[in-house]
Amino acid sequence: MSVIDLRSDTVTQPSPAMLEAMARAATGDDVYGEDPTVNRLEAELAERLGFAAALFVPTGTMSNLLGLMAHCGRGDEYIVGQQAHTYKYEGGGAAVLGSIQPQPLEVQADGSLDLEQVAAAIKPDDFHFARTRLLALENTMQGKVLPLEYLARARRFTQEHGLALHLDGARLYNAAVKLGVDAREITRHFDSVSVCLSKGLGAPVGSVLCGSAELIGKARRLRKMVGGGMRQAGLLAAAGLYALEHNVERLAQDHANAELLAEGLRDAGFCVEPVQTNMVYVQMGDRAHALKAFAAERGIRLSAAARLRMVTHMDVNRSQIGQVVEAFVAFSRK
């Protein structure tokens, strides 16, 4: 029985063609700056997203951490969503390792932060307060795409208030594909952007931080400090280059599969939130654990949250979506 794993888009296996690209990769010692494949990936993504420089790192958590630490020093503050990955799911790294105070704000229904609330949270220049330095947004945010018009407003807002603007773009390409725009239309509003290659793009490992040459210079020093300086990392960068070339446009299929799943579950009477990209949220309440066990017996791996998140990706096809809907129907009739 082939397993259908909807817990996350991080669960994909590298395809044979991707593995072949990895095996063929030219490598060198990247801490010496001598890995040609890492250098190519960094140059490629910087160019694609409109930045002067980029840095390859093992994880999105490290990419965000280095971005925040390159922008902010000890005793500085960043404003971030209460539900944002950087704040909630990264072990408090910015505070622990960067001595950066987070100022979390509730995320709006559309995934944005209300700029009036952000303005009210910016601390005056007074020695009682931390120095507010940066606003961090996330796109997609729990599968939701931030409107381009909002990003333009956030850019103007941060310029007016002297803040830097960072994007946790773990799923940047899901947002770009959904909007039907070049990813630059999103990234041009930001001072730094973190992109994951290991989510929907299907690489086994890797994220890239993009920014100015000065910012990436700082981040490169910090990467060494936190133990992220890898050696013949071209093996991994090759997977990233392959993913950028072959796996961006196909994200539209994941979005269509998510929509198909949502429709099927709605028809079966489940309470499903509107879908924008590759995430489907269903209200399961106290039935979540029972559903997880029921689905597992049918080869379907789910999380067990009351607000259940299911994520489509390249290792789940359309007919498997049908199997998942059938399992939910069988569960509801139990």
Among 192, 195, 188, CA closest to 45: 195
How far are the Cα atoms of 22, 76, 116, 234, 286 from residue 223, in angstroms, in the given order? Answer: 23, 20, 34, 17, 42
Binder among 21, 170, 209, 324 for ligand PLP (CB under 6 A): 170
- 80/325 with CB nearer ligand PLP: 80
- 190/331 with CB nearer ligand PLP: 190
Query: Minimum CB separation from ligand PLP for residue 259, in Å?
Result: 20
Which residue number is nearest to ligand PLP in terms of Cβ? 60
Q: Name the token pair of 125.
A: 């220049």
Q: Name the token pair of 129.
A: 């307060």
Residue 168 sits in the site that holds ligand PLP (CB under 6 A): yes
Among 199, 216, 196, CA closest to 207: 196
Residue 254 sits in the site that holds ligand PLP (CB under 6 A): no
The window from 54-62, 65-73, 125-133, 231-239 that contacts ligand PLP (CB under 6 A) reads 54-62
Residue with tokens 């039907």: 180
Give the per-residue contact string, 179-208, with ligand PLP (x = CB under 6 A; - = no).
-----------------x-xx-------x-
The number of residues in the chain equals 334
Question: Could you give the dihedral angle defined by the CA atoms of residues 41, 45, 46 and 49, in that order, rounded to the nearest 10 degrees?
Answer: 180
Residue 9 sits in the site that holds ligand PLP (CB under 6 A): no
Query: Minimum CB separation from ligand PLP for residue 129, in Å?
Result: 28
- The number of helix segments (H) and strand segments (E) in the chain equals 14, 11
- 64/312 with CB nearer ligand PLP: 64
Among 181, 143, 209, CA closest to 9: 143
Number of residues engaging ligand PLP in binding (CB under 6 A):
12
Residue 79 sits in the site that holds ligand PLP (CB under 6 A): no
Helices marked H in the chain: 16-24, 36-49, 60-71, 85-88, 93-98, 115-121, 148-160, 172-179, 184-187, 213-225, 234-246, 251-267, 288-297, 318-333
Binder among 48, 71, 85, 178 for ligand PLP (CB under 6 A): 85
Give the per-residue contact string, 207-226, with ligand PLP (x = CB under 6 A; - = no).
x-------------------
- 75/91 with CB nearer ligand PLP: 91
Residue 57 sits in the site that holds ligand PLP (CB under 6 A): no
Residue 138 sits in the site that holds ligand PLP (CB under 6 A): yes
Residues that bind ligand PLP (CB under 6 A): 59-61, 64, 85, 138, 168, 170, 196, 198-199, 207
